[in-house]
Amino acid sequence: MSLFYEKTCNVLGRFLNIKFDESTENKLNETLKFCNIETNARYVFNTVIFLILTLVPFSLVLILFKFFILGLFFLVIGLSLSLYFIYYPSVLSKHIRATSSPDLILTILYMVISLRIVPNLENALKFASENVKGYIGKQLKKLFYELNVGLYKNADEALEKFAEGWKVENEEFYDAIETIRASIHKSEKERAEIFEKLINTLLERNMDRLKIYAQELKVPITIITYMGIVLPILVTIMIPVLTSFIGLLINPFYISFLYNFLIPSVILIFNNMYLKSFPTFLSEIEFGKISNTNKIGYLSIKNKNIPILPISILIAVLFSFLGWSIISNEERSFFRLIGAKIIVLGFIFSIIFYSYFSYFKNSKIRDRIVKLEEEFPTALYNLGNLLTLGYSTENIISKLNEKIKSLEIHRLFEKALHNIKAFGFTLQRAIFDEEIGAIKEFRSSLIENVMKIIIEAMKIGGFAVSQAVITISNYLRTTKRVEMFSKEIFDDITSEINILLLLLLPLFSGMIVGITGIITDVMNTISNFVTNIVGAQNATIPFAATTFLPVNFKKVMPIEYSALIFGIYMIEISIISILFLSTLEGGKDKIKKYEKMTKIFLIQAILFSISSLAIYSLTIFLPLQALFK
């Protein structure tokens, strides 16, 4: 995406040469440099102006020549691209900062662990570069390489330069690096005290950032929820009437474009913008690498992975074929409504099928691994204490098992101990052996990464190793506290969206479809009545006898179109909101996402069907024909 941004700005930005405020350009140039986007602010601003001056007039010309949809399409594309080129660097910088926050903390943690064992900055930088993943890991590897080829005099200078790049985006990381650099000249006792406070301070400052983020998020998400979801649903009740008054100007295609493309796209873009800046400390579980689990998106039958997506698509196609055949062969509104609902339910059932079979076999294992992660800090604390006693690795693991035998996490160390005794493995191989390693049953990135660090540290030995393990234990406990804090501060937002998805959205959508059906029947009845009076004039009469606005009662939107448009709208909004919710509540937990999707869509299918049919069934008790006799 950054490459596309660079190339486009470097090409289109040359067509114009408009100068802008110097401070604005400097600010954007700093953001571009931080994101490693190789262009400049002037090119970015000129690209935006170029797009507006070309695409917007072109779209207006198309609309004037009655190419309404094509013109609207280019207008939306032009404005969207303009906003994209303006906001992309800012959103990307927030995304890098948010996703890098946990890795920056881990960088400090790894450096602290290394410095506890060997007080040398170069070793600490090397240790961090070998263990930190993602964007920060790449930056650290690059930094260590530049140090080795002589671009920096020493590790102190390299770290100073690296920290300087984060001074604006993450001030606490900058302060932590400065503290580490200064600690080299302290005594061992002073360093230990400094390091103990350092990690806790970092995490506490991140908690403050989460609190600010939640406060900033609440108002825009509330606006998106009510302006982007609730208001469009309430407006739909006017559509059947408007189609009669304005005729073909408001037809199902335009309404479908608005509700099934434009509104969901806007909500998706805004939700993604906010999620880009959402920091998460939650680890990821690697399903598919654990025995007796499915790879997400696949169904395991007799040790064969069968993709779920084709089956889900087939379900949607079969339901759509059945529903459309009913619509095509029926003239009665009630059965046309049933046909449309079958199509909508086909989409819902295909989503339920995919999401359910993606999580059902993995759910219990996810819960077990989450419990193991919660118990892991306790096991590490005990391990750290045992390392001070000078026992052999086998004795340490044996005594650790005795201390934590009431915890589920003891199974990891019990399996490792078995491998050491039975096969003479080292601790590293006992845990990470590809065939029988203990980690195969506990594919948590958190547990796996921490155990790798501990094993590397244990190779060096010494009292400092035990302190390093205890430091990791304290870090994990504090991280858990940050996770709980995160869930608490987002609870108000997630509760409102859950109520909207589980109750209001399906009920409102169903009721609108039912009301649309009633209005359609009323309009058709009036149309027949007017036709009988004025003759074959297409049931068109002056409105209210005081205006020249034609009212054509036969141009009411058919009920099946209403059911399809708003049913699909409900599905799209729900998927977008569920993805947003699951990230706020569970971070990278894909199982939680699919669990929530299954539950919400099952309830929506029931409420949407019942509410629309119940409302529309009122026409049975309305003597419409009798009113116009």
User: In 21-67, which ranges are continuous DSSP H helix?
Assistant: 22-34, 41-64
- 282 with 486: CB under 8 angstroms? no
* Core vs surface per residue 343-368: b (16+ CB within 10 A) or e: bbbbbbbbbbbbbbbbbeebeebbee
Contacts of 228 (CB under 8 A, 6+ apart): 263, 266, 267, 270
Task: Report, in angstroms and rounded to the nearest whole number, the Rg of the chain calculated over CA atoms.
Answer: 31
β-pairing, 298-301 with 304-307?
A: antiparallel
Mean of the per-residue pLDDT values of the chain: 80
Q: Band the pLDDT of 351: cuts 50, 70, 90.
A: very high
Sign of torsion over alpha carbons 579, 582, 587, 591 = negative
Residue type, 251: N
Crossing angle for the helix pair 68-117 and 445-460, to the nearest 10 degrees: 30
pLDDT for 546: 44
Residue 299 belongs to what H/E stretch?
Answer: strand 298-301
Max mean pLDDT range (174-183, 188-197, 278-287, 479-488)? 174-183
Q: How far is CA 560 from the centre of its chain?
A: 33
pTM for the complete prediction?
0.77
Residue 454 scores a pLDDT above 90? no
Max mean pLDDT range (270-284, 438-452, 524-538)? 438-452
SS3 322: helix
Q: How many other C-beta atoms are found inside a 10 Å radius of the C-beta of residue 53?
A: 13
Q: Which of 183-192, 250-259, 289-298 has the lowest mean pLDDT?
A: 289-298
Question: Across residues 285-302, what is the average pLDDT?
Answer: 65
Q: Band the pLDDT of 241: cuts 50, 70, 90.
A: low
* Core vs surface per residue 191-225: b (16+ CB within 10 A) or e: bbebbeebbeebbebbbebbeebbeebeeebeebb
β-pairing, 550-552 with 298-301?
A: unpaired
- Specify the DSSP class assigned to residue 153: S
Q: Band the pLDDT of 368: cuts 50, 70, 90.
A: confident
pLDDT for 530: 66
Nearest to residue 479, comparing CAs of 368, 363, 373? 373
- 358 with 297: CB under 8 angstroms? yes
Question: Across residues 563-575, what is the average pLDDT?
Answer: 89
Both tokens assigned to 347? 């989409």
pLDDT for 140: 92
Question: Across residues 550-577, what is the average pLDDT?
Answer: 78
pLDDT for 243: 59
Question: Across residues 501-523, what is the average pLDDT?
Answer: 80
Contacts of 398 (CB under 8 A, 6+ apart): 417
Q: How far apart are CA 46 and CA 10, in angstroms?
A: 10
More confident residue, 303 or 568: 568
User: In 282-359, which ranges are continuous DSSP H helix?
Assistant: 309-329, 333-359
In the chain, what percentage of residues exceed pLDDT 70? 86
User: In 360-462, which ranges are continuous DSSP H helix?
Assistant: 363-387, 393-403, 410-423, 427-432, 445-460
pLDDT for 284: 56
pLDDT for 547: 46
Both tokens assigned to 348? 């819902």
At 401-437, the pLDDT tens digits run: 999 988 888 888 999 999 999 888 888 889 988 888 8
Residue 14 scores a pLDDT above 60? yes
Residue 552 scores a pLDDT above 60? no
More confident residue, 471 or 319: 319
Residue 601 scores a pLDDT above 90? yes
More confident residue, 234 or 610: 610
Max mean pLDDT range (183-197, 227-241, 448-462)? 183-197
Q: Which of 154-163, 166-175, 451-460 has the lowest mean pLDDT?
A: 451-460
At 124-170, the pLDDT tens digits run: 899 889 888 888 888 899 999 999 988 898 999 999 989 988 887 77
- 472 with 453: CB under 8 angstroms? yes
